[in-house]
Amino acid sequence: QVQLQESGPGLVKPSETLSLTCTVSGGSVSSGSYYWNWIRQSPGKGLEWIGYIYYSGSTNYNPSLKSRITISIDTSKNQFSLKLSSVTAADTAVYYCARGFMTRKVRDAFDIWGQGTMVTVSS
Amino acid sequence: EIVLTQSPGTLSLSPGERATLSCRASQSVSSRYLAWYQQQPGQAPRLLIYGASSRATGIPDRFSGSGSGTDFTLTISRLEPEDFVVYFCQQYDSSLFTFGQGTKLEMK
């Protein structure tokens, strides 16, 4: 079955760039039937959607984070990635990647999630 | 931004009882674009309901969703011990996806 796995540093210094990768197994990021998301969860803010990317490379970002985010996709490695620049303590959270499915060529909900990775911003 | 407000924050019930969880949107959401997720402690959310009322694969039929416009409901008909966790609603109608703050279902 399809699985998603986040990877990346668990500790990032303030003002630096957080970089995470989501590796997809059992399925292909090149499928037009899905789109690929990043979500984070912190105790104080609940679940926050960060952004998504299609296999084509087209993206949509949360406006509150847009100036600091880059989401990219590598179809050769079957991965997609998140970069969040100029991090502060407020970016400390569990970061999830998730697959969104398409229904009749329209975006639908998130049916498969990675287990999540905790990222702490601290010097 | 569409703000989703879930109520109650915490719901105390007993196994076998019926649970009704509410999700209210700050503006109208197409029922096609409303989902519910369940989150067990230390785990990622799991999709329960999409399109306001369609159960995801493998979800027991004791879970059901309904609603339209600004008011949506997740109903659990007969609570099992494993259902006493946290539930989130999500809208993906607008280009900015948002989640509710969650309802915790606790065992009385």
> Would you say A58 and A32 are in contact if contact means Cβ atoms under 8 Å apart?
no
Cβ atoms of B25 and B35 within 8 Å: the answer is no
Kindly report the average pLDDT of chain B as a whole number: 96
Output the pLDDT for position A29: 96
CA distance B14 to B98: 30
pLDDT at A105: 87
Give yes or no for A96 touching B (CB within 8 A): yes
State the distance between the two ends of chain B, measured CA to CA, in whole angstroms. 35
Q: Residue A121 has what pLDDT? A: 97
Which residue does chain A place closest to B88, by CA atoms?
A: A47
Give the Cα separation of A47 and A50 in Å (integer).
Answer: 10
Instruction: Find tokens 């076998």 and name the residue.
Output: B16
A60 CB near a chain B CB, below 8 Å?
Answer: yes
Residue in B with minimal Cα distance to A60: B95
Could you tell me which chain A residue has the CA closest to the CA of B35? Answer: A109
* Res A92: pLDDT: 96
Q: Which residue positions in chain A have pLDDT lower than 70?
A: 44
Taking only the tens place, the pLDDT of each residue in B12-42 is: 999 999 999 999 999 999 989 999 999 999 9
Closest CB to A107: pick one of B45, B46, B92: B92
| B101 vs A46, A113, A114: nearest CB | A46
| Structure-block tokens of residue A8 | 């990346």
Q: Which amino acid is at A66?
A: K
Give the C-alpha separation, A58 to A88, whole Å: 27
Looking at residue A48, its pLDDT comes to: 97
- Residue-wise pLDDT tens digits, B63-83: 999 999 999 999 999 999 999
Could you write out the three-class secondary structure of chain A? CCEEEEECCCEECCCCCEEEEEEEECCCCCCCCEEEEEEEEECCCEEEEEEEECCCCCEEECCCCHHHEEEEEECCCCEEEEEECCCCHHHCEEEEEEEEEEECCEEEEEEEECCCEEEEECC
A46 has a chain B CB within 8 A of its CB:
yes
The predicted structure's pLDDT at residue A44 = 67
Q: What is the largest CA-CA distance in chain B?
A: 39
Contact between chains at A47 and B44 (C-beta distance less than 8 A): no
- Rounded CA-CA distance B23/A96 in Å is 23
Which residues of chain B lie closer than 8 angstroms to A108, CB-CB?
33, 50-51, 92
